[in-house]
Homo-oligomer: A and B are copies of this chain.
Amino acid sequence: MEGKYEGDIGHDDHHNPCVEIAMEIHKVETPPKRSSLQKLKNRLKETFFPDDPLRQFKGQSTKQKWLLGFQYIFPILQWGPNYNLNLLKSDVVSGLTIASLAIPQGISYAKLANLPPIVGLYSSFVPPLVYAVLGSSKDLAVGPVSIASLLMGSMLRQEVSPTQDPLLFLQLAFTSTFFAGLFQASLGFLRLGFIIDFLSKATLIGFMAGAAIIVSLQQLKALLGITHFTKEMGLVPVMSSVFHHTKEWSWQTILMGFCFLVFLLVTRHISIKKPKLFWVSAGAPLLSVVVSTLFVFVFKAQHHGISVIGKLEEGLNPPSWNMLHFHGHHIGLVIKTGLITGIISLTEGIAVGRTFAALKNYQVDGNKEMIAIGVMNVVGSTTSCYITTGAFSRSAVNHNAGAKTAVSNIIMAVTVMVTLLFLMPLFQYTPNLVLGAIIVTAVVGLIDIPAAYQIWKVDKFDFVVMLCAFFGVIFISVQEGLALAVGISIFKMVLQMTRPKTVVLGNIPGTDIFRNKHQYQDAVSVPGFLILSIQAPISFANSNYLNERILRWMQDYQEEEETKNHSDLRFVILDLAAVSAIDANGVMFFQELRRVLEKKGVELVLVNPVGEVMEKLQKADGTHDLLQPTNLYLTVGEAVSSRFSSMKVGSC
């Protein structure tokens, strides 16, 4: 069978081509009729309910449905009744571990957001409790996170100074948190969770690395002891500010900061190498805080150039609903900040939840998680908390420490509560440099060079997107860098639609299989046939291009084949298997192409249109010119062998 369709024209015939009347021919079918309304319903379902969340309710009794409904809204009702002492033991260990991390990080991140340190602790108390009731992840450790803190701080600082007008700044932060939560919950409720998918892996890696550098640079203030630090975030202003204030550098601060930074980085390194020693890096921040505070207290270092946090109030979260402002001329900024911090913290929370769910083989429902995180932030904004989500580093520690359920969040919250009630005076002498070192150590982990290298290997364009995000964040601004990367990603997607691939297929010798001639170098073309596969939906955005491109393929054929094999082009076969949809322009494309080819004496043959394409062609093509049985086949093989034999009939 070698060279099934080859050799009959242009070579010596060693067998009669007329005998080779081919295989069985199969009909292309149209899917069963559905009304437009049914189609719309189906389309909406696929768009908004791809995970079919109501599946479990099918065929249940009414009482059962109510129970399932409550369990759906409050996952705690699902696992709560089976909770036992063994689980509690694990959760207490992991809860205490993440609390020891959450307290210093909470204070640090609040400073990153230009908020009073205590707000960071408030935010580690209420939101974890809310999440424990509503959330479906077993590993997520909830609290303030570095990037969202940075974003909120830098965006709000555009209009209000946190040092000159701290109360207004705080009010705007709570209001932004409220809007972020509202937005997050709405996304989940309206099943629009796919919006966070537009932050591709490449975008996120570039963005996180850029943000990590920006955050680290901000810590130079604390680590060098500079008092007159720039208020801008970019690489250039920060570096120039650092080197214009060399006189303010304090060697005591630098020495002490350097020691703690090295200590924290070493413990981090140990825990990465040996995940079982997770408690080394988990306990290190608290230990650093205790040691440095004692050091300052004993040596009265605050009088020797080392700046300290200062007095903190005792007591639990005061209510803050009276601090939410829904009018005034900062409302635009507040909503924008809410949107951006909301979407970024959502992305982190969902990604972390999914990662650990995949490790333990359970499912996290994205839309439901969004509602949980959103409600948590709305509640938080009324109880003096700023934006929170599932933190990557703390969740990893939580997971490694053996957390079994969301009870570990409750344990953490209780520990933070005890701290708030009784231990606040102890932080009075905590030096700012240790907070800076804790932040740097935490964000260094966001720079993921192996992942960046992997992206470089796999997809150069994604790498460019990553670089755009990275340099955009460093040199322009955090939010604009992000927008740039998302814009480029979407542009690439649109470009892909505008310039779909068309490939020439050839016959793999000895089979009926037709494949890309470029990929399968031994695939041979059939004389007289140009077989093309179109690999995208045909729509307004590409119908003109496809028309031009197909004519160019025909010119190529004429130049190459006709001089080589003296065979005129007789048939253009379009393999439509990969054309998943067409629109009105797509339909016209076929009609137009057929007309043009007819004028050139070439026949257009369509192969394997999918259901939707078939339906639309039928509807548009009143006379069914395009869809005659001799122009429509189920496989390329059948099309070629049928038309090939018809071509030969004349010469027999």
Contacts and interface: CB of A to CB of B under 8 A. Distances in A.
Interface in A485-518: 489-490, 493-501, 503, 508, 510-511, 513, 515-516, 518
A619 B50 contact: no
A151 interface: no
A37 B596 CA distance: 36
A358 interface: yes
B577 A361 contact: no
B634 A515 contact: yes
A91 interface: no
Contact of A513 (B498, B503, B634): B634
Interface stretch (A275-283, A317-325, A415-423, A547-555): A547-555
Nearest to A200: B540
Contacts of A497: 493, 496-497
A521 interface: yes
A535 interface: yes
A596 B358 contact: yes
A26 interface: yes
A633 B383 CA distance: 58
A520 to B, nearest CB: 5
A578 B610 CA distance: 11
Contacts of A582: 459
B50 A552 contact: yes
Interface in A186-208: 194, 197-203
A461 B583 contact: yes
Contacts of A47: 495, 499
Nearest to A499: B47
A635 interface: yes
Contacts of A567: none
Interface string A571-591: 000000110111111011000
Report which residue of A198, A520, A540, A608 has the largest number of chain B beta carbons within 10 angstroms of its beta carbon: A540
Interface in A449-506: 454-455, 457-462, 489-490, 493-501, 503
Contact of A519 (B30, B495, B585, B619): B30
Nearest to A611: B519
A610 B495 CA distance: 19
A493 B495 contact: no
Given A46-B499, A540-B200, A611 B32 contact: no
B544 A498 contact: no
A498 B540 contact: no
Nearest to A508: B26
Contact of A500 (B358, B552, B580): B580
Interface in A425-462: 454-455, 457-462
A537 interface: yes
Contacts of A55: 555
A581 B501 CA distance: 9
Nearest to A354: B544
A27 to B, nearest CB: 9
Given A500-B580, A518-B611, A519-B614, A585 B545 contact: no
A266 interface: no
B197 A545 contact: yes
A454 B620 contact: yes
A63 interface: no
Contacts of A24: 510-511
Given A513-B26, A585-B200, A614-B519, A544 B500 contact: no
Interface string A514-542: 01101111000000000000011101111
Contact of A536 (B499, B501, B580): B580
A351 to B, nearest CB: 10
Contacts of A194: 498-499, 541, 544-545
Interface string A602-646: 000000101100101001100000000000001100000000000
Contacts of A616: 458-459
A458 B587 contact: yes
A599 interface: yes
A51 interface: yes
A250 B587 CA distance: 49
Contacts of A599: 361
A228 interface: no
A570 B596 CA distance: 49
Interface string A12-44: 000000000000101001111000100110000
A366 interface: yes
Nearest to A575: B577
A123 to B, nearest CB: 28
A569 to B, nearest CB: 16
A588 B459 CA distance: 12
4 A-B pairs with the lowest CB-CB distances in the bound complex, closest first: A200-B540, A578-B578, A535-B580, A519-B611
Given A31-B518, A47-B499, A50-B545, 4 more contacts: A29-B519, A194-B545, A497-B497, A501-B610
Interface of A: 24, 26, 29-32, 36, 39-40, 46-47, 50-52, 55, 194, 197-203, 358, 361, 363, 366, 454-455, 457-462, 489-490, 493-501, 503, 508, 510-511, 513, 515-516, 518-521, 535-537, 539-545, 548-549, 551-552, 555, 577-578, 580-585, 587-588, 592, 595-596, 599, 608, 610-611, 614, 616, 619-620, 634-635
9 contacts: A29-B520, A52-B552, A194-B541, A198-B540, A200-B539, A458-B587, A489-B540, A489-B541, A577-B578
